[in-house]
Amino acid sequence: MYKIAVAGTGYVGLVAGVCFAERGHQVTCVDIDEKKVELMKSGVTPIYEADLEELMQKNYKEGRLNYTTDYKKAYKDADAIFIGVGTPEQSDGSANLSYIATVARQIAETIEKDCLVVVKSTVPVGTNDKVEQFIKDFLVNDVKVEVASNPEFLAQGSAVHDTLHAARIIIGTESAWAEDMLKKIYEPFNLPIVSVNRRSAEMIKYASNDFLALKISYMNDIANLCELVGANIEDVSKGMSYDARIGKNFLNAGIGFGGSCFPKDTKALEYLARQNGYELRTVKAAIDVNKEQKTMLFKKASRHLITFNGLKVAVLGLTFKPGTDDLREAPSLENIPLLLAQGADINAYDPVGEENFKKKFPEGKNAHGSINYVKTAEEALKEANVCFVFTEWKEIKQLKPEDFIKLMRTPLVYDGRNSFDIKSMKKVGVEYYSIGRNY
């Protein structure tokens, strides 16, 4: 087993560190936030992720997992250092690599033995070449150091399962030494390993995520056309799913993709193509479709209602998808400012995303409207004039059509996740609009 340090304790770094410990390695997770480190030592996860807290507590108690702000101590004698810090999107669509550079400099000035540096963060093709050169330029001690690429393919909400039971592990290396060490680190996982060079590994990450984003945007585009021509997107996707060449996943229409990966990765790859004099027209189209899709229901409702001024609006779901408290690129972030600007009085409900959303939209009166956070979906619906469904949490999908009739002042529902049966809603008298489904 290896002594591993992990830089960064977000979705990528923390999940990786915990899973390495679960498979028997000695792991130290490094973060600059002392409060966050103390929180993790107490067994509390800073992110909402299924099964993560249980494994954190187990492996910390058994002595395989620790947390620290002292990067010098963590890095100096590590066999491998995994970098899992953020690479946020910049205004031009490129990736911000400043956090990667900071960790690389710290590693160079700290390591005292031969070390493999493994970048799990999503970075543009060619970045790991630069990281390796950067570390060697600032290296203090006479030790061997190489950089490998090991992109993650976890989905938020199922990140622990996706790591421990991955379809494949991608490793990108430039030497037999680095390849052999990474294979041995992942040997206890007993998963298929695809070994390629560094640049191919970097591209596999972008190509995979962007393909899935393309699939989602394509289905949303088809759904919009279905509404116009009288077809039903659910019937269409069901018929498509039987074709093994297409598959059954990522065929659900909705109000666009969000999260930490798809929006950022599509823009980053499109930017990389432009920088190299090439236009990725398919990826650019996916970006454009997704941007328009997020506010489609708001625009449809605006045509119906003329204005939201003085109306009570129920918002069901704030996070970009169920199973996570992540708000990044969530449709709610696009739609709620539009509703507030028109003077809506919003009652918002989300099982886990409320606290994060409050940081962006504090409770109370806005310049025009107001936002109030409630503890149940039923409370959000009470006396509402209109309802928007932005996230398909089970707590929301469990609502019955009769609940909308009983609780709302006017049962007008715009469902961005196709959460309810059209016939059932119509039967009880709900005026119901969804994505790509005809009545």
Domains within the chain, CATH numbers bracketed: 3-196 (3.40.50.720), 204-292 (1.10.1040.10), 294-433 (3.40.50.720)
In the chain, the percentage of residues whose pLDDT exceeds 70 is 100
- Which tokens is 365 given? 């009166």
Q: How confident is the model at residue 13 (pLDDT cuts 50, 70, 90)?
A: very high
261 is catalytic: yes
Residue 101 has pLDDT above 80, yes or no: yes
pTM above 0.85, yes or no: yes
State mean pLDDT over 163-188. 97
Residue whose pair of structure tokens reads 């509402």 in the numeric block? 384
Interval 17-26: pLDDT, tens: 999 999 999 9
Residue whose pair of structure tokens reads 């504090």 in the numeric block? 362
What CA–CA distances, in Å, run from 398 to 268, 346, 418, 433? 38, 21, 13, 18
Residue 233 has pLDDT above 90, yes or no: yes
Which of 130, 128, 138, 136 shows the shortest CA–CA distance to 172? 128
Interval 287-307: pLDDT, tens: 999 999 999 999 999 999 989
pLDDT value at position 157? 86
Which of 70, 44, 69, 54 shows the shortest CA–CA distance to 21? 54
Q: Which helix (H) or strand (E) holds 148?
A: strand 145-149
pLDDT value at position 155? 87
Residue 368 has pLDDT above 90, yes or no: no
Rg (CA), the chain: 24
Residue 395 has pLDDT above 80, yes or no: yes
Interval 30-54: pLDDT, tens: 999 999 999 999 999 999 999 999 9
Residue 129 has pLDDT above 80, yes or no: yes
Residue 279 has pLDDT above 80, yes or no: yes
Which of residues 91 and 390 earns the better pLDDT score?
A: 390
Residue 367 has pLDDT above 80, yes or no: no
pLDDT value at position 298? 96
Q: Which amino acid is at 177?
A: W
Interval 245-272: pLDDT, tens: 999 999 999 999 998 889 999 999 999 9
pLDDT value at position 7? 98
Q: Which amino acid is at 31?
A: D
pLDDT value at position 260? 84
Q: How confident is the model at residue 93 (pLDDT cuts 50, 70, 90)?
A: confident
**Strands of the sheet with 312-316, listed across from one edge:** 364-365, 370-373, 345-349, 312-316, 386-389, 412-415, 431-433
- 112, 38 in Cβ contact below 8 A? no
Number of H helices, E strands in the chain: 19, 15
Interval 208-218: pLDDT, tens: 999 999 999 99
Mean of pLDDT over the chain:
96
Contacts of 288 (CB under 8 A, 6+ apart): none
State mean pLDDT over 322-338. 95
Q: Which amino acid is at 421?
A: D
For residues 77 and 5, what is the distance between their CA atoms, to the nearest angstrom?
Answer: 9
Q: Which helix (H) or strand (E) holds 433?
A: strand 431-433
- 405, 428 in Cβ contact below 8 A? yes
State mean pLDDT over 125-140. 97
pLDDT value at position 439? 64
Which is catalytic among the residues 29, 115, 226, 261?
261
